[in-house]
Amino acid sequence: MAKMQEDVISQSSYMFYVCAGLLVARDRASRGNGEILSRFSLTEALCLGAGLAVSGLCYYMYRKKKKTADEIECDNASHINIDGNLKDTLEVTPGARLQYAVVEGVVEPVGEPLRSQCHEDIVGVVHKVEVTEPRLGLSSLYSALFKSHQQVTSVPFVLRGSDGTAVQVHCPLKASGLNMEMLYKRFLQVSHGFSVLGWYFSGVKSYSRLETEEMLRVGTRVTGVGQLTLDPDGTLNLRPPSDGSKYFLSMADYDTLRKQYSAATKAWKRFAVIFALAGAAALYLHGKLR
């Protein structure tokens, strides 16, 4: 059924443009100008190209989001509680692993946690500092540029269940969906002074700066979706799936995460159809007005 819906969207986009082109050709022939044009005008080509490009981009995003949503909602994604029964479950599972599992637990560092640069009393396990500088490029045309400096660090941590059972989290920086808590955000207006002279030599002028600090704090409840394994020493691990499926760490619960990707899939699907229709309509109307 899902594959059929994808084919319908693709075929519909193509048919919209074919029908619009046929209608334009019919109108031209009915005007009796005695001449059949063998090619589109520049305006029609632009309408067709722009519509196809935007619709194609939306369709690509739809396919990408749908693949992720299907992985999250698949029957193989077992929702497992982090408790004393988890080790027993994995011991009787072939390979002592679940290829795609969903677990929820509280973040706890293994060793010394990271400390916020702006709030010394706040500690966490993943820390991100970013400085973004919008710039103005001087060339034949003015162009907006963005220069970003980003530093992300992490320390080993576990997701701990209600009874104290812990799951070691591996490769957190490779996970999708990890929107951390914003601890600090400041927008600065750059004062140039004599540095404006350098603009004429470098061709680039910075006019503002945005500084942000984010952190996955200790004590935050996190949902992890990935491969769950049991080591011979009894350590439980959550890591990226070996089959290439999406790896998630999210501050949202599993149901919210699933709904977010489902909603995004539907939105991109609508955009793909809307822009296909818009491009076809623009092409048809331009042909009618000629």
Q: Is residue 171 part of a domain?
A: yes
160: pLDDT strictly greater than 70 = yes
What tens digit of pLDDT does each residue of 168-217 get? Answer: 999 999 998 888 999 998 887 766 555 555 555 555 556 677 889 999 99
Residue 30: the pLDDT is 47
8: pLDDT strictly greater than 60 = no
**Together in a domain, 30 and 108:** no
User: Which one, of 31, 80, 27, lies nearest residue 225 by Cα?
Assistant: 80
What tens digit of pLDDT does each residue of 35-85 get? Answer: 444 445 666 666 667 777 777 777 777 777 776 666 666 645 678 899 989
Residue 159: the pLDDT is 97
Q: Which residue has the higher pLDDT, 223 or 194?
A: 223
Q: How many domains does the chain have?
A: 2
Joined together, the tokens standing for residue 160 give 């701990």
Q: Is residue 259 part of a domain?
A: no
226: pLDDT strictly greater than 60 = yes
Q: Which residue has the higher pLDDT, 258 or 128?
A: 128
88: pLDDT strictly greater than 50 = yes
What's the mean pLDDT when you consider all of the chain? Answer: 76
- CB-based burial of residue 97 (10 Å sphere; 0-12 exposed, 13-18 middle, 19+ buried)? middle
Q: Is residue 256 part of a domain?
A: no
- Domain span at residue 21 reads 2-74+265-289
Residue 270: the pLDDT is 80
Q: Is residue 255 part of a domain?
A: no
**Together in a domain, 86 and 228:** yes
223: pLDDT strictly greater than 70 = yes
Q: Which residue has the higher pLDDT, 287 or 230?
A: 230
Residue 274: the pLDDT is 78
Q: Is residue 260 part of a domain?
A: no
**Together in a domain, 84 and 138:** yes
**Together in a domain, 10 and 88:** no
**Together in a domain, 25 and 147:** no
**Together in a domain, 170 and 30:** no
**Together in a domain, 171 and 85:** yes
**Together in a domain, 117 and 179:** yes
Q: What percent of the chain has pLDDT over 90?
A: 32
Residue 55: the pLDDT is 75
**Together in a domain, 104 and 182:** yes
246: pLDDT strictly greater than 80 = yes
Q: Is residue 153 part of a domain?
A: yes
Residue 269: the pLDDT is 78
**Together in a domain, 207 and 93:** yes
Residue 221: the pLDDT is 95
**Together in a domain, 236 and 102:** yes
**Together in a domain, 109 and 220:** yes
Q: Is residue 214 part of a domain?
A: yes
Q: Is residue 23 part of a domain?
A: yes
Residue 26: the pLDDT is 46
